[in-house]
Amino acid sequence: MFPQHVFPDTAEIDGQGRLVIGGCSALDLAEEYGTPVYVLDEATLRNRCRSYRAEFEQRCPGAQVLYASKAYINPALAQIFNEEGLGLDVVSGGELAVAIAAQFPLEKVYFHGNNKTSDELAYAVDQGIGRIVVDSFHELDLLNRIAGEAGKVQDILIRVSPGIDPHTHAYTTTGIIDSKFGFSIQTGQAAEAIRQALALSRNGGNLTLKGLHFHLGSPIFELEPYQAAATDLVLRFAAGFREEGLDLQEFSPGGGFAIAYTRDQEPPAIGEYAETIVATLKATCGELGLAIPTLLIEPGRSIVGPAGVALYRIGAIKDIPGVRKYVSVDGGMGDNIRPALYQASYEVVSAGKVNSSTSGNGTYAEEKVTIAGKYCESGDVLASDIMLPTPEPGDIIAIPAAGAYCPSMASNYNLNPRPPMVLVKDGKSRLIRRRESYADMMLCDV
């Protein structure tokens, strides 16, 4: 059965059992743009942006949705997010440069990161970035100096670490006490950071503390970590600094909202995350007598992830009798490091032979295979022991839920060019990033 809910909103199967995305045949896209290729469905992207805005704004007027660029950004996408009224979360000078290239309104850009360099901070301050989310004492001093040299007063948030385990992969957990991100509430370092920031907001300093931020990790399939544990805990902590002059104008519980990667996964709906966060925010602020701050949320994966489908072409097929059947494709860990890095699981369908009750073609006989990449690493496996209609060299396979943290974490390992990105909508496709060439990969070599 076709796992519709892990594919983009517009995905369908035509009468010949072929996958169609955004009105475009996956086989035709593979032919036109070559493989591997990442296809992004514009309708899904925009639907997710609109759902986030609607679900949070209707419950909490003035709430702002900041797209977490690290999930994937380029100028064309930044323009779409701007059209949809989102802000941006950036974590490097490079991501900020994309926002600038796309003429994104910089007052809606928030700069994160545990070790922003002085060059990056100076660049952000000079360009007039909206907020810098300060993550260390070193950064507090450095930024105060840089803003002073630029003759500016920079708005900041402080990132706190609430000491909450959101039950996700150890490599993607950020809000626990043993984390390189943020100032820990438990150790007293968050309190000290707030006091220093307040002092720099007053005594001739060059910073203005606007509020607090935290981010627990990603993907978070539970609602509870956002609720009592985090939103409630951080708000109570913030209320303790009212007397010392903390005016909590902005409050961000970060991102981390989950998506379905495999057919058995059912993450909470966007409305459920919104209800949990906003209800807790309102109840806790009411109880503490705090004015409700502007709520900021930072979804990345859950906006771009479900919009993306990776297409690969099958090459070598190696059957090791009694052991495993390896089906190798023309991409792999260079364009999707997530299985190797996080043991992430994906669905795989054969784009020209989709087993679906709506295909009208009955079913294709399946066999158990392992999808391997073309990289010189044994760990370069995209999906292990999955069922696939009998594969043949030349077949196109599609991996859904691939829009987030695949192209953005892609590398040139083994000097394979990174794949192109294609936006599809209403039966038309548009290249928004071309495939790298061999010359591109030698561009910086001197």
Ligand X SMILES: Cc1ncc(COP(=O)(O)O)c(C=O)c1O
Among 71, 229, 274, 386, binds ligand X (CB under 6 A): 71
Q: Shortest Cβ distance from residue 205 to ligand LYS (Å)?
A: 29
Whichever of 205 and 300 has its CB closer to ligand X, that residue is: 300
- Kindly tell me which residue out of 196, 284, 302, 416 binds ligand X, with binding defined by CB under 6 A: 302
Bridge partners of 161, per DSSP, are: 184
Residue 376: active-site member: yes
Least distance (Å) between residue 298 CB and ligand X: 4
CA atoms within 13 A on the CB side of 134: 29
CA–CA separation, 72 and 91 (whole Å)? 12
Q: Which amino acid is at 27?
A: L
Contact region with ligand X (CB under 6 A), list: 115-123, 145-153, 248-256, 350-358:
248-256
Of the listed pieces 35-43, 255-263, 329-337, 362-370, which binds ligand X according to CB under 6 A? 255-263
Q: Per residue in 62-72, is it b (16+ CB within 10 Å) or e — as a string?
A: ebbbbbbbbbb
What's the CA gap between 302 and 210, in Å, rounded? 27
Residues 168-187 touching ligand LYS, rule: CB under 6 A, are 172
**Any contact of residue 70 with ligand LYS (CB under 6 A)?**
yes
- 48 half-sphere exposure, CB direction, 13 A CA radius: 28
CB of 182 to ligand LYS, least distance (A): 12
Query: Among all chains, which residue has been given the structure tokens 């784009």?
Result: 351
Bridge partners, 177 (sequence order)? none
Cα(298)–Cα(226) distance, integer angstroms: 13
Instruction: Answer with the entry of ligand X, ligand LYS, none that 338 interacts with (C-beta below 5 to 8 A by kind).
Output: ligand LYS
Q: Which residues contact 59 (CB under 8 A, 6 or more apart)?
A: 274, 275, 278, 279
Shortest distance (Å) from residue 334 CB to ligand X: 21
The torsion defined by the Cα of 92, 207, 234 and 183, in degrees rounded to 10, comes to 60
Residue carrying the six token digits 């992830």: 305
Return the amino acid letter for 9: D
Whole-number Å distance between alpha carbons of 142 and 46? 38
The one-character DSSP state at 232 is: I
Which segment (73-81, 138-146, 295-303, 320-328) binds ligand X by CB under 6 A? Answer: 295-303
Please report whether residue 338 would count as binding ligand LYS according to CB under 6 A: yes
Residue in the shown chain whose Cβ atom is closest to ligand LYS: 405
N residues, the chain: 446
Total number of residues that touch ligand X (CB under 6 A): 17
Cβ neighbours for 204, distance < 8 A, ≥ 6 positions apart: none
Our CB check for ligand X shows the closer of 95 and 298 to be 298
Helix axes 137-149, 118-127, angle to 10 degrees: 50
Rounded to a whole number of angstroms, the minimum distance from the CB of residue 396 to ligand LYS is 24
- Per CB under 6 A, does 218 bind ligand LYS? yes
> Quick one: which of 93, 166, 211, 255 contacts ligand X (CB under 6 A)?
255
The amino acid sitting at 67 is Y
Nearest Cα to 312, choosing from 438, 424, 402? 402
Nearest distance in Å: CB 259, ligand LYS: 10
According to the binding rule CB under 6 A, does residue 51 interact with ligand LYS? no
Helix (H) or strand (E) holding 179: none
Nearer to ligand LYS, 65 or 246 (CB): 65
Q: Is 257 in the site for ligand X (CB under 6 A)?
A: yes
Per DSSP, helices labelled H in 358-437 are none
- Contact partner, 255, from ligand LYS, ligand X, none, Cβ < 5-8 Å per class: ligand X
Least spacing, CB of residue 53 vs ligand X, in Å: 15
Site for ligand X in 202-231 (CB under 6 A): 215, 218-219
Report the C-alpha gap between 170 and 343 in whole angstroms.
11
Binding mask 81-110 for ligand X (x = CB under 6 A): --------x---------------------
Catalytic residue among 24, 49, 285, 376: 376
Q: What's the CA gap between 268 and 102, in Å, rounded?
A: 32
Contact set for ligand X, span 306-345 (CB under 6 A): none
Work out the angle at residue 71's Cα, subtended by the Cα atoms of residues 307 and 130, and round it to the nearest 5 degrees.
120
Q: Which stretch binds ligand X (CB under 6 A): 198-206, 252-260, 355-363, 379-387?
A: 252-260
Minimum CB distance to ligand X smaller for 41 or for 298 = 298
Residues designated as active site = 376
Point out which residues bind ligand LYS (CB under 6 A): 70, 172, 218, 338, 405
Point out which residues bind ligand X (CB under 6 A): 68, 71, 89, 112, 174, 215, 218-219, 254-257, 298-302
